[in-house]
Chains A and B, each alone.
Chain A
């Protein structure tokens, strides 16, 4: 069972994580602990099953690099990639493709791997190199719904979603533009 869970309290400390035997990634906000990817800063963790947590952490970084939104927390990207982890647990060929794709990103990045690259531009350069691979296209294609179809994320973009139950916008600003 793969779950994204919120920490009991916000701000799991670096020391807490280290005490639990976690490895703090180089320059990364994500920490690997056992089979989980943990965000100490935002107090959530993603329990992995089909893929190594390191690979999932890389996918989360890759997801952000593909669709970077600075006002969107990592957990939304984590939710978006968890379906890949689940699918990898069921389909050997899929798991192999993802693992090979992640290994390829790390290889191209050199020592320190993909997540070790400090600048988004450096990572995007690598993504451009693999843009036509089925690995990249599978990850990107799945994110279109995996990321943007999360209802919790919509308000962060100013999209209000369902409106019928609120009586539409006839009395809620369908024509409230004032700056024209």
Chain B
């Protein structure tokens, strides 16, 4: 049974956020006998209550707190207060994610060495290698039940995949399959197999897709060592005169403030809220925010070079049926500067329902060019581009100078400019996507701009040297020994791969480190 911990219990590890990073870390620590309190800003919504309706589900799950945007990205124009499409609920964005679980490639951990210096980019090697992370990738794949690992069969291909595969074959792509998906292709881990429902983004109502909501969290709670406190919005991390963190001030659902004392604090609120919390925790001792001696907190915001290509055919596809993202082409994920850019990208099947297609196909678009595309919705196929984007110092999360949230704290502004490398990669991917669909008879194709970001990365990055980043190779902040970062904001660079598997692997690894350091009394 999950036993509630006292607010004055200063022996607990407080984790802020219950998604891929926080939820996994919480369970891993609880399994080792460590007392854990997870503060989660959102409500606990069990999977039976998810909704097969795009807008209704968005209202139920999405992080809708006001944010502002700036920069040359189109999201700033089309969705100025919605930079990111992520979740505010227990389980975090693992309720919404599509399940694609890919390991980083070896060279993606050392981009500065491998790509060389790129003008305008703040490239840096991770203080970590693929070899060091491999055992944890293996644990994560087993934990999450990733298809095509651990003897788990791949998912069956849906209509959208079949179109992708036919086009991939025509273009001569070699590595195309139904993906490495943390979605059960058969009963496993007390969860049933995928029923091809087509609402992966709205939360899997079968529980077939891995989410911390119904895997890590109840497993952790069953140890009696993990308490998840929903609707608890962290406002500030407190510290003592020695500079060690001592607890987290948070607001409950009624806006009442509480201070949960802590032996150590792990920040896992996604790459917008994590740096915001560190910046909002500024004090006389740390006037630029916690763990920010490098000035890198909030900087190097990455979101993957994304985009979609949709295509209409003269015959039906019904792309929305079945697992949304069970289809991938990996041939372009390599680093091959002859294409005119560094890094690579994945092509993955993607589908939106009619309501979201109307909102995202060409935001702001209208007239017959736009509506004739929707008229062919049933004959549409689609893919998503996921590529490595360049970390840039000026792409960053800052505190808004005037606007405050309901708790009186500055809201975050998300600034993003495309790097020329990002644009070159996206254009290459658009051309490949278009060629792929035309090879199987597409009548029209639509290069669709990036959606509000789901892959938010890099704003508390890992670095060997304290002057280059915010955390070390264990996610421990360079400045404060008992303060950790446990989400995708640790990423030094983004890779071409969907980030969740790497976030989970880092969390498992971090749990080992924290437990060991606590056992020796180092923290």
Show the binding face of A for B, using Cβ within 8 Å: 66-69, 71, 124, 140, 144-145, 147-149, 154, 157-165, 167-170, 172-177, 179-180
Contact = CB atoms under 8 A, between A and B. Distances in A.
A161 B53 contact: yes
A167 B358 contact: no
A157 B322 contact: no
A168 B355 contact: no
Contacts of A159: 320, 353-354, 377-378
B355 A148 contact: yes
B378 A157 contact: yes
B409 interface: no
A142 to B, nearest CB: 12
Contacts of A175: 156-159, 162, 322
Contact of B371 (A68, A149, A168): A68
Contact of B355 (A68, A71, A149, A165): A149
A31 B367 CA distance: 25
A179 B381 CA distance: 13
A69 B353 CA distance: 17
B315 A67 contact: no
Chain A binding surface, main DSSP class: loop
A180 B374 CA distance: 22
A174 B317 CA distance: 9
Contacts of B374: 69, 148, 157
A162 B196 contact: no
B163 A177 contact: yes
B163 A144 contact: no
Contacts of B294: none
B378 A180 contact: no
A161 B52 contact: yes
Interface of B: 52-53, 55, 156-159, 162-163, 166, 194-199, 205-206, 313, 315-318, 320-322, 353-355, 358-359, 364, 366-368, 370-371, 374-375, 377-379, 440
B377 A67 contact: no
A168 B198 contact: yes
Nearest to B353: A159
A73 to B, nearest CB: 15
Contacts, number: 113
A168 B160 CA distance: 16
B52 A164 contact: yes
9 contacts: A140-B364, A161-B353, A163-B198, A167-B195, A168-B206, A174-B158, A174-B196, A180-B163, A180-B166
A154 B54 CA distance: 12
A179 B401 CA distance: 57
A145 B315 contact: no
Given A163-B199, A168-B197, 17 more contacts: A69-B374, A124-B367, A148-B355, A149-B355, A158-B377, A159-B353, A160-B320, A160-B321, A162-B52, A163-B198, A164-B195, A164-B205, A169-B198, A169-B321, A170-B194, A175-B162, A179-B315
Given A168-B198, A169-B197, A67 B162 contact: no
Contact of A66 (B205, B316, B367, B440): B367
A52 B198 CA distance: 43
Contacts of B370: 67
A150 to B, nearest CB: 9
Contacts of A163: 52, 197-199, 321
Instruction: Report, nearest first, the 6 A-B pairs whose CB atoms are least far apart.
Output: A158-B378, A168-B195, A168-B197, A174-B322, A148-B358, A159-B354
A68 B322 contact: no
B354 A148 contact: yes
A162 B53 contact: yes
B322 A169 contact: yes
A162 B320 CA distance: 11
Nearest to B162: A177
